[in-house]
Amino acid sequence: MNMFKKNLLVVAATLVAGNSFAAASDVAITEWMYKGGVGEFIEFTNIGTTAIDFTGWSYDDDSRKAGTFSLSGFGIVAAGESVIITETWDNVFRDDWGLDASVKVLGNYSNNIGNGDEINIYDASGSLVDRLTYGSNPRTDGTSGRATSADALGANDVSKWVFSTVGDVEGSWRAASGTVGSPGQTSFVSSVPEPESYALMLGGLALVGAIARRRVAR
């Protein structure tokens, strides 16, 4: 590939990537289970319309210390993508729930949540992104807790959460161990990219074409 073509690709990539990452506020806690057949889990979802880089992000329980458990292993989390942390091995969790290898799971965290506890997620700057404080009701022992509506996401109001049931709006199912939930998916997202992303990409391609035509005309 000659230098001119390389430069065109760089221009296009820069323009497209210029708005490729969403605000941290687009990440929400979307499901949790404090005690499961093979281990507890927490699900985080990018409910926005553009990708988010989780490098430097972290999780903690009610001790509220950013950096306690690193979420950097998730890397780039696509719009609409749900990711999971669990106290067990990631492969054990996937096998129990029948999850595809494409579902991102980080295992072996030790700051476990309890019957009454708190879930906190922090961005790379250590700022709180979302928090869910809960007591013993709903008691997510063998059955996950899920939000009743999009309004519950980010509201830190556990009264807006209910137990998952097989075949509910989240498409929950029973794992091999007998626990019920829907880790790795949620109904509160759209997989369609925002219009400005399309416009940005088309604008970048148009600029590349204009540069190419000008070069040919010389």
List domains and CATH numbers for the chain: 22-192 (2.60.40.1260)
Instruction: Please list the pLDDT of the chain residue by residue as tens digits (218 residues).
Output: 554 444 444 334 433 333 444 456 899 999 999 999 999 999 999 999 999 999 999 999 999 999 999 999 999 999 999 999 999 999 999 999 999 999 999 999 988 998 899 999 999 999 999 999 999 877 899 999 999 999 999 999 999 999 999 999 999 999 999 999 999 999 998 654 444 444 444 454 445 455 445 555 55
Quote the pLDDT of residue 8.
Answer: 40
Quote the pLDDT of residue 176.
Answer: 98
Quote the pLDDT of residue 56.
Answer: 98
Alpha-carbon distances, residue 73 vs 4, 76, 150 (angstroms)? 36, 9, 27
R_g (Cα) of the chain, nearest Å: 20
Q: How far apart are CA 76 and CA 105, in angstroms?
A: 13
Q: How far apart are CA 93 and CA 119, in angstroms?
A: 20
Q: Are 11 and 196 in contact (CB under 8 A)?
A: no
Q: 147 - beta bridge partners? A: 161
Q: Are 92 and 38 in contact (CB under 8 A)?
A: yes
Alpha-carbon distances, residue 176 vs 90, 93, 99, 135, 189 (angstroms)? 15, 10, 11, 27, 27
- Note the pTM of the prediction, 2 decimals: 0.78
Quote the pLDDT of residue 53.
Answer: 98
